[in-house]
Chain A
Amino acid sequence: MTAASGTSLWRELIHKPFFWGIVAIVALLALNVVKDPAYLAMTVNPNNGNLVGNLIDILRQAAPIMMIAIGMSLVIATGGIDLSVGSLMAVAGAVSMEFLNAAGDSASVGVAFAAAGLALLITAVLGAVNGVLVAYVGLQPFIATLVLMLAGRGIAKVITGGQNTAASNDPFRWISNGYLIGIPVVFILAVLIVIVVGWVVRRSALGLMIEAIGINPKASRMAGIKPKGLLLTTYILSGILAGIAGIMSVGSVMTVDISRTGYQLELDAILAVVIGGASLAGGKFSLSGAFVGALLIATLDKTVLFLGVSSSATPAFKAIVIVVLCLLQSERVRSWFRTRRKEKPAAPEQKTVKEEVQA
């Protein structure tokens, strides 16, 4: 009895979209442990009771990726794409740093809130531009957002006057460097936002409507959903989440690097979504999957760095992963698996079959 329920639980877990993501995280961590047996060790800083360790670093790095991955999940579920998230992160960083630099008050909580609010307002407006172009003008999503992906970095440069602006403000810095009950604030914040967004879209019909648009916009309109307003909302949300990610990533160093903040992070977001089991063709999303995907990417980043490969080369690895995932999603590869399985139902043959497919 217990064995039977155990296997069904196991089977359910395997069929979760993020199962393979968790397997990959464990594999990467194992790789790190092989290189350095003390890799997973976590210590408590005796001075302030904060947790210190590589795992904590991974959680901290994963937070901005989670933000853009969640926004991207919803956008991809509508059948669109938002290529501008990385550049919007740079814009949010530039706006907040310029504001803090101009305000000068390095201890005021109000100034920190105003800086964050202004940054989020501007990214929301830019997200709305994407949304209007996609929903009301009817442009292809990748063209509408490509313009902002490339021009957004220009906007950030204009805001800072081409400089890498630095500022000091302790409450703002606390967002990404602070600790609450020993855990990084930035991670707690990210988890909270994921839960809130997930709760709103899954407890209401919103998530279902978003998926309906992705499956068939015409049918969804006939079923009484207003796709235009919902699309606009999705892109605005993606813009705001990218703004939060930008604040998180500039807060740790309190400097915006206009050419590197958020650079190529749109790929990370897309990758996290695909790892989480969503289809790039739209029509379904899984926020928990995107959450695991973001964790996997942060682990991958850290591992590549730990193994001594130049950090600017990581996009190459990610690109290969995304190509493999796209291949696994494609109908042709799936049919290969299906026909092979039909041809050879005997279990002992399975190992050789797998090798053939990989070759």
Chain B
Amino acid sequence: MTALTAARVRDEPVAILDRVRRMIQANPSVLPTIASVVIFVGMVVYGEVAYGRILQASTLSNLLINNAHLIVLAVALTFVIITGGIDLSVGSIIAFSSVAGVMLANAGWNAIAVMVVMVGIGALFGVVSGVLIRYFNVQPFIATLAMMFLGRGLASLLSTKPERLGEDSPIRWIGVQLKIVDGPKVNDLVITPAVIIAVIVVLAAFFVLHRTRTGRTVYAIGGSESSALLMGLSVQRTKVLVYVISGALAGLAAVLYTARLGTAQNITGIGWELDAIAAAVIGGTLLTGAYGYVLGSVIGALVLGLMNVLITRDGGIPPEMTTIITGGILLVFVLLQRAVTRKKE
């Protein structure tokens, strides 16, 4: 009897390894997602060993609070990339939407109305990109590149100085830190409404992608657009929809970011499209479309966030290196994807 349980205990890790191996063999595109989980855990362990104070409530909750907007952006990009497209305009949408939002709020608009307008601006940009791509066959990266410059230009037209949100503006409530567990000293588990919103977005996106017709159509378009069309799926409608979703989520990310920081500027969000694409790609979304996991993108966003924490803790790496490192990581993962998909072919 005891020998039997001992054998079972010994078997269990082997069984798990075996299951993982079988999963990878069945579906090689899971590999990047697993790799990102491994990297995240590895970074946490390395940070804990090298710098300390990583694996504690305050650091981890700050990681979520500071990257809530990036998580939302990564979810936005996941939708677009799964269809085989790309959205380069998210950073500029954030700039325009946040500058416009802060100016409206300071002009005395109702906070709810301002937030609706901010998300609406994003959705409007998404509609324009989507229509250009769907009706006029413009390549996705050209259409969204044009929107990227349009958004940045419009934001500069509104203001080129940092716009401060009023101290008593209700929008700031989204960035307020709420203590959940009062730990020793400053080691508290804190959360902001922004984090809750980001979690809701992730869950909603997961539900839409994996449990609805629309979600399956998104995957089908990435796999083969013509086959999806022949199957009678609403390809055209969905293609516009993903860009609207992406734009609206970028608008939402602008709300979260502005609420946390309290200022908006026309240069906010330069290069965030790279962060968002990198987060999605690290999380296992294939740039050629059809493969991708919302939860993987969340991990990708957290990997990037944790990287920033480690760079700050280290102090020896100049902050200018951040974009180079992000670019390098993106490149490595794209090459990894390339190798995996080639093997499958």
Contact = CB atoms under 8 A, between A and B. Distances in A.
B338 A139 contact: yes
B141 A332 contact: no
Interface residues of A, number: 45
Contact of A326 (B142, B150, B157, B160): B142
A309 B153 CA distance: 11
Nearest to A154: B323
A157 interface: yes
A137 interface: yes
A310 B327 contact: no
A157 B320 contact: yes
Interface stretch (A101-109, A229-237, A292-300, A311-319): A311-319
Contacts of B135: 332
Interface string A123-151: 00000000001000111101100111011
Contacts, number: 119
A91 B195 CA distance: 38
Interface of A: 81, 83, 133, 137-140, 142-143, 146-148, 150-151, 153-155, 157-158, 161-162, 264, 267, 270, 280-281, 309-310, 312-320, 322-323, 326-327, 330-333
Contacts of B266: 312
B88 to A, nearest CB: 8
B111 to A, nearest CB: 28
Given A137-B338, A280-B138, A320-B150, 10 more contacts: A140-B288, A143-B86, A151-B326, A264-B149, A312-B153, A312-B266, A318-B153, A319-B147, A319-B149, A327-B136
Contact of A330 (B136, B323, B328, B331): B136
Q: Which secondary structure characterizes the binding site on chain A?
A: helix
B150 A319 contact: yes
B153 A319 contact: yes
A158 B318 contact: yes
Q: Which secondary structure characterizes the binding site on chain B?
A: helix
Contact of B327 (A142, A151, A331): A151
With a 10 A CB-CB cut-off, give which of A83, A161, A267, A332 has the most chain B CB atoms: A267
A150 B153 contact: no
Contacts of A83: 145
Contact of B331 (A147, A162, A281, A326): A147
B183 interface: no
Contacts of A157: 320
B141 A142 contact: yes
A310 B322 CA distance: 30
Contacts of A140: 287-288
Closest 4 CB pairs of A and B: A316-B153, A151-B327, A154-B323, A157-B320
A316 B136 contact: no
Nearest to B327: A151
